[in-house]
Chain A
Amino acid sequence: MAFAVALILLVIGSVAFHFLSPWWLTPLASNWGAIDFTINLTFWVTGIVFVAVNLFMAYAVIRYRHKDGVRAHYEPENAKLENWLIGITTVGVVAMLAPGLFVWAQFVEVPEDATEFEVVGQQWHWSFRFPGEDGVMGTTDARLMTNENPFGMNPEDPNGQDDVLIFNSEVHLPLDVPVKVLLRAKDVIHNFAVPQFRVKMDMVPGLVSYVWLTPTRSGTFDILCMELCGIAHFTMRGKVVVETQEKFDAWLAGHPTYAEHAAKLPGDPEAGRALYAICSACHGVQGEGNAALNSPKIAGQGAWYMKRQIQYYRSGVRGSHPDDIYGRQMAPMALTLTNEAAIDNVIAYVQTLPDNAPEATVEGDVEHGERIFRVCANCHGHDGMGIQALNAPRQAGMSDWYLVTQLKNFKARIRGSHEKDMYGIQMQLMADILHDDEDINDLVAYVNTL
């Protein structure tokens, strides 16, 4: 009896949970209302079956529970009843399948007026490519992919010259314009998913897959990788900003084309030498850093990383958090570099400075630190020298006290909380595995041994 009551309560509880649950589909932001309709339809059909069959079973358990002297009814089969049940079930299945296939046909057929853009997935980063003015995307080849050509663009292809390349995890889309999203991956399988858009698709190295959709609501939405792609899978986040055509056009125009990328001149160290004078006051004449002034060693750090940080300081992505005392000191300094060429020049000069190992100042349990570092090594390299392709800067042989400060800042959300700091968000999630200052010291002490 208790059992039958429990079954009935579970049925009632499940239905009540469904209606009271605060967790449900996120508000739709694309044209795929038909998918929501099919989900709701499936819910009604399966919900009715769930309630009916389980209540019938609970009733049977109550009505026909064991009584002494009573015998069960003897009826091996009942063909008529079984055929009826088959018939009703078939009708229910068709009622769900037919609309499902109908909507799938819409998904498969991309509207002719859809504009194309491309999403490229890599461990653990998104980048995007728009076809440029000619509306045609240039060809690419995995074999051409390098740090300098992360999209694997074919330099010979005229169609690719005006392609707009966006090598960061934020993309913008125009409102109410159907888009065909071409999906490509460089290393392992990823999955392009925006919950509010409903559609998702794997991105597979070696082939180009697609989804299509029309964004119908402006706003900023999360892009999540939804196919396990390695240890930092859960940090593979991006953003899609849906906005008016005018804003979108302005945003797109702010990004260089492939031809502009390729034609860019490298930084001039000689021109950078003069600019470096102001940096040297804190970071030292040889870029060796100065702990007393809270200025880390910069000699030997990756040029790509320094450039990103200077740009972050300039735009307030970094050094704007009220608790980031030293970052706030750096921000106005970065503004003294007035254009991209100046940044490139000064970094080119820093690259010429001697890379001497700084004195170790942090002590800790190296063995424990090594265990923690096995996670870090996946991006920063087993030698801690950083891997540009993974957007992970060098740590070994740099100022250890600075590493401690930054890990604490990531953990405390002082660094990486700016909405445009997509790499900082990743590092915050990773810094969370450090439970206390001891963990941080142990880790950094191990990095000192590299």
Chain B
Amino acid sequence: MAYVAIADQGQELHDPQSFITKYIWSQDHKVIAIQYSITAIAVGLVALVLSGMMRLQLGFPNSFSFIDPQSYYQFVTMHGMIMVIYLLTALFLGGFGNYLIPLMCGARDMVFPYMNMMSYWIYLVSVLVLMASFFVPGGPTGAGWTLYPPQAILPGTPGADGGIVLMLVSLALFIVAFTMGGLNYVTTALQARTRGMTLMRLPLTVWGIVMATILGLLAFPALLVSAIMMLLDRTLGTSFFMPAILSMGNQLDYNGGSPVLFQHLFWFFGHPEVYIVALPAFGIVSDLLSVHARKNIFGYRMMVWAIIAIGGLSFVVWAHHMYVSGMHPYFGFFFATTTLIIAVPTAIKVYNWVLTLWKGNIRLNVPMLFAIGFVFTFINGGLTGLFLGNVVVDLPLSDTYFVVAHFHMVMGVSPILVVFGAIYHWYPKMTGRMLNETLGKIHFWVTFLGTYAIYYPMHYLGFLGLPRRYYALGDTSFIPDSVATLNASITVAALIVGVVQILFIYNLIVSLRKGKPSGGNPWQATTLEWQTPQTPPVHGNWGPTLPVVHRWAYDYSVPGAEEDFVPQNVPRDVVASEAD
């Protein structure tokens, strides 16, 4: 039998019969993507409220009786874990990955649709388990999102009874869910691309998401085993991470374990996790900049190699989170070097984004504002990474507000700006309607300027030496009173940014019915998802025949072409272009 690419096989599609099979137990990647996105955004809003509570305490200490030290540390912990794992990871991969990979590759669906469906439902269970921890005696864990043992499982830490157990179980479930989805994303991108869609013609969005998924598939197991091992330490009294110690003055039965081992496992996952969030953002923002600057992404091949290089390097830098962990200091030489090397491919990406704008024809619509806003905040957050990555500079800054400011700028604000840009960009494809532009611009300005007002000054609190994860600062010899004023103003900015997100949610809901009809390709983009016969695309995406790809994803403003964009499925004899 002759070779037939998977994409071309006339596969039986799971055919939706009723409301339930169409929207609830759906195997359509687009429905699953939307399920993932709604769940992630909903749980993200919870985490947003938690951050507001933290900021209330920091800005106006001891003014609110519902924020005592116990709840404060619980808010800190749950905010961090939800944002990193249950919002950003789930939204970028489960949401955008699910929606865009099959469409951008020219496939009818994910390769394993049933497993894809399972992935969402297990993810939902993991979210429910996590949320349940708010309602168990003692509440959720307050061990910090890094969950360092021995602290995480001993009395003296909030939620050491039930909260930590539910957290670990929820993480394990999340990883199961992610693995089911992740195998799909990688397999689909490798095996189900349509005719003509070579790897080097893939949009950078797909490159970013697929590379992030590969990182996830390799990194999450480290978190899974550490979660299981800690669960055993907590419930069965094993001593993986527990040396001979006291708790509350009593000798415990633990012996011989290593708390630092947990940190190695955690950060072996945790550092790639940064790029699991960042690489999809890199990919998506590349496409947004290119589309809305009406110009090809500058240095496409270099961008692909940079994604691969960053992905590879992200596995050999983990211990830069542990410079002051008590590990052997000689590690510092190695990890500082690898960490600063990673700055080179990352800088390449920044240069190429900026050079994409250069000599472009820039349309400053809402997705573009968010995309350029991302480049700005990412430059800031990336550069402060050079402080923390350089081992000796990390000594005074580690565990201070500099760290808080850095990682919020680089993996909080920056990716979330891309998320917003991406939603404004692809919402028309998902719904057939445009989001309201005025509301979008207000949303952008407040979010962009507001987050900068929160995090830029915060770095300076770190230089001063302000420790992070302090419920109250109290009196010290080195913290001036002006810090209280700054903290209050940061809180005000944070609350404004938080409240303005309501506008965004409102826009999402109202535009479903009232939004201006968008047509199939409102941004005049080249990539395949904009070339579907229907908008929103129906189950199976492409109608009777799959599209055939003839060119790369970035033929904008090709000299001699009639329009300033040439979709990927336009044959080369219709419009020729220099690039592949």
- Chain A interface size range: 35 or more
Known: A26-B465, A72-B361, A433-B68. A388 touches B387 (CB 8 A): no
CB-nearest residue of chain A to B470? A234
| Cα–Cα, bound, A202→B260 (Å) | 10
Query: Is the CB–CB distance between A191 and B399 below 8 Å?
Result: yes
Known: A35-B393, A143-B251, A226-B399. A17 touches B456 (CB 8 A): yes
Q: Contacting B243 at CB < 8 Å: which of A42, A104, A142, A428?
A: A142
Tell me which residues across on chain B come within 8 A of A147, comparing CB atoms: 249
Query: Is the CB–CB distance between B326 and A183 below 8 Å?
Result: yes
Whether A198 is near chain B, meaning CB under 8 Å from some CB there, is: yes
Tell me which residues across on chain B come within 8 A of A82, comparing CB atoms: 299, 302, 348, 351-352
Tell me which residues across on chain A come within 8 A of B452, comparing CB atoms: 10
Tell me which residues across on chain A come within 8 A of B157, comparing CB atoms: 188, 230-231
Query: Is the CB–CB distance between B478 and A222 below 8 Å?
Result: yes
Q: How far is the CB of A140 from chain B (nearest CB, A)?
A: 11
Other A-B pairs, 5, CB within 8 Å; known A200-B324, A228-B469: A35-B395, A86-B344, A100-B392, A122-B246, A378-B155
Query: Is the CB–CB distance between A104 and B332 below 8 Å?
Result: yes
Whether A85 is near chain B, meaning CB under 8 Å from some CB there, is: yes
Query: Is the CB–CB distance between A202 and B326 below 8 Å?
Result: yes
Known: A204-B259, A206-B258, A228-B144. A100 touches B249 (CB 8 A): no
Within 2-25 of A, Cβ neighbours of B (below 8 Å) are at: 3, 6-7, 10, 14, 17, 21-25
Which stretch of A60-68, A127-135, A259-267, A330-338 is in the interface? A60-68
Whether B413 is near chain A, meaning CB under 8 Å from some CB there, is: no
Q: Contacting B393 at CB < 8 Å: which of A93, A100, A108?
A: A100
Could you tell me which B residues sit within 8 Å of A by CB distance?
61-62, 65, 68-70, 73, 142-144, 148, 150-151, 154-158, 243-251, 257-260, 293-296, 298-302, 324-326, 329-330, 332-333, 336-337, 340-341, 343-344, 347-348, 350-352, 354-355, 357-364, 369, 372, 375-376, 379-380, 383-384, 386-387, 390-393, 395-400, 449, 452, 456-457, 460-461, 463-465, 467-478, 480, 482-483, 486, 554, 556-559, 564, 577-579
Tell me which residues across on chain A come within 8 A of B61, comparing CB atoms: 432
Leading 8 A-B pairs by shortest Cβ distance? A389-B249, A206-B243, A195-B465, A209-B326, A73-B359, A230-B156, A72-B295, A226-B399
Tell me which residues across on chain A come within 8 A of B375, comparing CB atoms: 57
| Residue among A237, A390, A433 with max Cβ neighbours from chain B (10 Å) | A433
Tell me which residues across on chain A come within 8 A of B473, comparing CB atoms: 234
Whether A232 is near chain B, meaning CB under 8 Å from some CB there, is: yes
Query: Is the CB–CB distance between A96 and B340 below 8 Å?
Result: yes
Q: Contacting B293 at CB < 8 Å: which of A17, A72, A225, A235?
A: A72
Tell me which residues across on chain B come within 8 A of A209, comparing CB atoms: 326
| Cα–Cα, bound, A139→B214 (Å) | 48
CB-nearest residue of chain A to B260? A204
CB-nearest residue of chain B to A196? B478
Tell me which residues across on chain A come within 8 A of B293, comparing CB atoms: 64, 72
| Cα–Cα, bound, A23→B484 (Å) | 12
Within 310-356 of A, Cβ neighbours of B (below 8 Å) are at: none
| Cα–Cα, bound, A22→B197 (Å) | 56
CB-nearest residue of chain A to B369? A3
| Cα–Cα, bound, A3→B371 (Å) | 12
Query: Is the CB–CB distance between B298 and A24 below 8 Å?
Result: no
Query: Is the CB–CB distance between A74 and B558 below 8 Å?
Result: yes
Tell me which residues across on chain B come within 8 A of A90, comparing CB atoms: 344
CB-nearest residue of chain A to B396? A198
Known: A64-B358, A188-B150, A390-B249. A100 touches B68 (CB 8 A): no
Tell me which residues across on chain A come within 8 A of B325, comparing CB atoms: 202, 204
Whether A70 is near chain B, meaning CB under 8 Å from some CB there, is: yes
Query: Is the CB–CB distance between B249 and A387 below 8 Å?
Result: yes
| Residue among B245, B300, B302, B577 with max Cβ neighbours from chain A (10 Å) | B245
Which stretch of A48-56, A157-165, A272-280 is in the interface? A48-56
| Cα–Cα, bound, A212→B564 (Å) | 63
Within 177-208 of A, Cβ neighbours of B (below 8 Å) are at: 183, 186-189, 191, 193, 195-196, 198-207
CB-nearest residue of chain A to B63? A435
Query: Is the CB–CB distance between A100 and B464 below 8 Å?
Result: no
Q: Contacting B387 at CB < 8 Å: which of A39, A89, A203?
A: A39
Q: How far is the CB of A429 from chain B (nearest CB, A)?
A: 5
Known: A7-B376, A96-B386, A189-B151. A201 touches B324 (CB 8 A): yes
